[in-house]
Amino acid sequence: MSSNLVLHKSIDDTVFTFIDVETTGLSPADSRVCEIAMARFKGDSRIGNFVSLINPEIGIPLEVSKIHGITDDMVKTSPTFEQASSRIIGFIENSVLVAHNAEFDLGFLKMEFERIGLRLPEAVVIDTLIMARRLGRFYNNKLGTIAKELDISSQGWHRALNDVEMTRKIFEHFILILRKDGAVTLGDVLKKFPS
């Protein structure tokens, strides 16, 4: 995925998968994914969506439920991560992943895949949190704050699909800035945000 051919692809010809997970806590070591949302885009065209509650196979603490609104009752008949894993892999493969605070989301996904004896597929990753730190001047760099300051709806913040849609719009805002600065290819974008 990180070959020169991919880096030379124009921004409009690159498939971006925007991803967000909601979890039962903050540490991938002892918490689990309880919701995942992904949206694949090529240019302005949405080419796929995947949204699912995930049965984390552990309880969701009340204080965490208060943040994202997901309860044990809501996930008890949902697929486990293992049951959803092949669809998740299908969305990640052959695309560039975009997330806000990607280290958090991908840390959880990596651990969930390890638990079922698989590996998180290799992918180029762009983090809108890093973009915000380098290209913006926001009150703070939380997803909802940035969305509000850019006049993007932050309704339903902390639910996976809403967070994915906010991330996509924030990403498009920053890509517009980069295009004005001469960015044409994925490689041009990654030069500004080396991992």
Stretch 73-94: mean pLDDT, rounded?
97
Residue-wise pLDDT tens digits, 15-26: 999 999 999 999
Mean pLDDT of the chain: 94
The pLDDT confidence band at residue 192, using thresholds 50, 70 and 90, is confident
Residue 60 reports pLDDT greater than 90: yes
Helix (H) / strand (E) element for 99: namely strand 96-99
The pLDDT confidence band at residue 163, using thresholds 50, 70 and 90, is very high
CA distances from 131 to 19, 20, 48, 73, 80 (A): 16, 17, 24, 37, 33
Separation between Cα atoms, residue 132 and residue 137, nearest integer Å: 8
Task: Tell whether pTM > 0.85.
Answer: yes
Residue 195 reports pLDDT greater than 70: no
User: Which residues have a Cβ under 8 Å from the Cβ of 137 and sit 6 or more positions away?
Assistant: none
Active site residues: 158
The pLDDT confidence band at residue 158, using thresholds 50, 70 and 90, is confident
pLDDT at 1: 45
Please name each of the domains of the chain with its CATH number. Answer: 4-190 (3.30.420.10)
